[in-house]
Each structure stands twice: as structure tokens, then as C-alpha cells.
């Protein structure tokens, strides 16, 4: 279900991700990144298995002493305590770690890697054990055919196991790359997940520190839960657009929009413009990432 294509793994492409190349690319944008104050995101593939990961992290911390470095990882390498302690010597880090189930059978089936659930959970335990106040942990649940019906149980598991997580995020997937190739095996639609997602928010939204919904247009979620919806994609993302009927929507300026690949696969019938303001909804039109209060 990865959004990367298989070609991403080619040896020729890997040359673009040597330590020298990575630091050079970021170095050319250093001043811009520093001035913006935005996070610097490291993703993959799996960034922690880069042979120079620790050195890259140290160099980036020196180049960008104030910016948060966000690492999107499966968390498995943090099963090694020495590695975990070395990474966490660096301050102001955010980790995005996906937990696909509350049990090893389902999680490992999704990752196609036996033992990955136990390693991810142990890795998270180590991060929480050795973290300091500048380290932030965001747990992610990606909605797939294999796990979406168990969403409430997964939320319960994460709440009981890792109550100190800064965020728990429920993500609707992007259907591109390997996810597009395996579309029939992993895909779910907004109507399929709606009641289950809303039940999870109802049950856990007040208990967790922050329960967020990523990649959800506003009209596919009841307005009672909009305060949990974050615009999780930059406004200039090439895959996001608005349908012609969205022009009629009162909340268009506060909405993420829709994915082109989603419309290509499921159509657009269940996106419905909201024609007038809803009572009790406060909107900060200037806050792109979290406009609904």
C-alpha cells in the first residue's frame, strides 16, 4: 500500500540519496527553511535504514538548529536501544510512526513483514523511554480494507499503550504507486469508513491528547467532528484539486479538497457542497492547517 512505485528502489535512483547528495540538496534551501520555521521532513522508503542516517541527522541538526526534523518511519530500527539513544541525543525531533493494527497478525499482513508489529511496538517503547520534552511522537493509523473495521480497537490499544503520544492521526490513503497497483486489495471509500471513523472520534477524541483526521474533505465527515480534521497536504500539492461543484460550498476555503486519484477510482458523487454556514462552527480562515475550531 506504499505510495512509492517499485522503481523507487532501483540502485540507480539510490545514488540520488547518498549522504552527500541529501545534504547538498537541503543545503541549497537552508536559508529558506530556517526563515520559514517549518519542519524538515525525512521520509522514504524507510529513512532509518539509510547507512548514514545518524550522520545525516547530526549534520541536519547543525545546519538547522531551530527547525523541527520530522522522521516518517516504521519505527522498527528503534528496537535497538543504542540506536534509539543516539538518535534522541538530538533535540526537537518529531516521529511519525504507523501502527496498522492492535495485533501482530493484521499488522504483519499489511507490512508483508513477519515480526514487524513486535519490532514497531518495542521501538515505540524505547522512544518513549529515552525521549525528552523536545521529542514529539505522532502515531498514525492508515485506513485500509484490512484494518478499517477494527479502527476503534486500534485507537483503544494506542490510548492504553501510549497515552503520552502527542498525536494519533487517522489517515485516508493516497491511491498511487504500489497502492494503485494493489488497489482492489487495499482500497476503501469515504462512505465505507465514515461511520467507523466518526465512532472512533466520538469514543477517543476527548480522551487522547490530539486525535486528528488526515486527508479528509470536510463534506465526508459530520460537522460535529470537523475540529479533528486537519488540512494535511500543502495547498499547492499537485494531486489535490476542487471539483466544479465545490465552488458552491460555503466552506471551500477551509477544506483540503479532493485527491485526483480518488475521483478517478471512486467518482465524485458523494462529495456534496455545503451551501450555508453551520451553527456552532467557528472558522479561522487564515489558519490553513487547522481552520476549524
pLDDT of res. 109: 96
Q: Locate 126 and state its grid cell.
A: 524505547
Q: Locate 253 and state its grid cell.
A: 476555503
DSSP secondary structure code for residue 93 in this structure: E
Q: Locate 210 and state its grid cell.
A: 490530539
- What span, in angstroms and rounded, lies between the C-alpha atoms of 252 and 25? 35
**pLDDT class for 83, splitting at 50, 70, 90?**
very high
Q: Is the pLDDT of residue 12 over 80?
A: no
Q: Cα-flanking dihedrals φ and ψ of residue 244, to 5°? A: -60, -40
pLDDT of res. 255: 96
Cα–Cα–Cα angle for 207, 213, 216, rounded to 5 degrees: 155
Q: What is the pLDDT of residues 199-216, one digit of tens each?
A: 999 999 999 999 999 999
DSSP secondary structure code for residue 200 in this structure: H
Considering the four listed CATH numbers 2.40.50.140, 3.20.20.10, 3.20.20.70, 2.60.40.2130, the one that applies to the domain covering 6-214 is 3.20.20.70
Please say whether the beta carbons of 277 and 248 come within 8 A: no
pLDDT of res. 111: 95
Buried b (16+ CB within 10 A) or exposed e, 36-57: eeeebebebbebbebeebeebb
For residues 167-184, average pLDDT: 92
Q: Which residues, 6+ apart, have CB-to-CB distance to 218 below 8 Å?
A: 226, 229, 251, 254, 255, 256, 274, 292
pLDDT of res. 263: 95
Q: Cα-flanking dihedrals φ and ψ of residue 223, to 5°? A: -60, -20
Residue of 59, 34, 62, 135 lying closest to 92 (CA atoms): 135
Q: Is the pLDDT of residue 72 over 90?
A: yes
pLDDT of res. 183: 92
Lowest-confidence region among 41-45, 103-107, 140-144, 187-191 = 41-45
For residues 72-82, average pLDDT: 98
pLDDT of res. 179: 87
pLDDT of res. 266: 95
Please say whether the beta carbons of 140 and 1 come within 8 A: no
For residues 40-62, average pLDDT: 95
* % the chain with pLDDT above 90: 85
Q: Is the pLDDT of residue 7 over 90?
A: no
Q: Is the pLDDT of residue 173 over 80?
A: yes
**pLDDT class for 237, splitting at 50, 70, 90?**
confident
Please give the model's pTM, rounded to 2 decimal places: 0.94
- What number of other Cβ atoms are within 10 A of residue 30's Cβ? 15
Q: What is the pLDDT of residues 99-129, one digit of tens each?
A: 999 999 999 999 999 999 999 999 999 999 9
pLDDT of res. 29: 93
Q: Is the pLDDT of residue 45 over 90?
A: no
pLDDT, greater one: 15 or 185: 185
Amino acid at each position: 500500500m506504499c505510495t512509492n512505485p517499485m522503481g523507487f528502489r532501483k540502485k540507480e535512483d539510490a545514488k540520488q540519496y547518498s549522504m552527500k547528495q541529501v545534504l547538498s540538496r537541503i543545503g541549497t534551501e537552508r536559508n529558506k527553511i530556517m526563515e520559514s520555521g517549518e519542519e524538515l521532513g525525512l521520509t522514504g522508503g524507510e529513512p532509518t535504514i539509510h547507512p548514514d542516517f545518524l550522520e545525516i541527522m547530526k549534520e541536519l541538526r547543525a545546519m538547522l538548529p531551530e527547525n523541527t526534523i520530522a522522521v516518517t518511519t516504521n519505527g522498527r530500527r528503534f528496537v535497538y536501544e543504542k540506536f534509539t539513544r543516539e538518535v534522541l541525543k538530538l533535540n526537537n525531533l518529531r516521529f511519525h510512526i504507523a501502527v496498522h493494527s492492535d495485533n501482530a497478525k493484521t499488522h504483519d499482513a499489511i507490512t508483508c513483514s513477519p515480526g514487524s508489529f513486535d519490532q514497531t511496538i518495542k521501538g515505540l517503547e524505547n522512544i518513549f523511554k529515552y525521549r525528552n520534552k523536545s521529542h514529539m511522537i505522532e502515531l498514525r493509523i492508515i485506513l485500509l480494507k484490512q484494518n478499517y473495521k477494527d479502527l476503534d480497537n486500534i485507537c483503544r490499544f494506542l490510548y492504553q499503550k501510549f497515552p503520552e503520544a502527542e498525536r494519533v492521526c487517522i489517515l485516508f490513503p493516497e491511491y498511487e504507486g504500489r497502492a494503485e497497483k494493489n488497489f482492489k486489495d487495499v482500497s476503501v471509500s469515504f462512505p465505507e469508513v465514515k461511520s467507523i471513523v466518526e465512532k472512533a472520534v466520538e469514543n477517543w477524541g476527548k480522551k487522547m491528547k490530539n486525535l486528528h483526521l488526515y486527508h479528509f474533505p470536510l463534506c465526508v465527515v459530520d460537522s460535529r467532528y470537523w475540529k479533528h480534521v486537519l488540512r494535511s497536504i500543502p495547498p499547492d500539492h499537485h494531486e489535490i484539486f476542487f471539483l466544479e461543484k465545490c465552488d458552491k460550498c460555503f466552506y471551500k476555503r477551509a477544506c483540503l479538497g479532493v485527491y485526483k486519484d480518488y475521483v478517478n477510482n471512486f467518482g465524485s458523487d458523494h462529495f456534496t457542497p455545503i451551501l450555508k454556514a453551520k451553527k456552532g462552527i467557528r472558522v479561522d480562515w487564515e489558519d490553513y492547517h487547522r481552520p476549524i475550531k
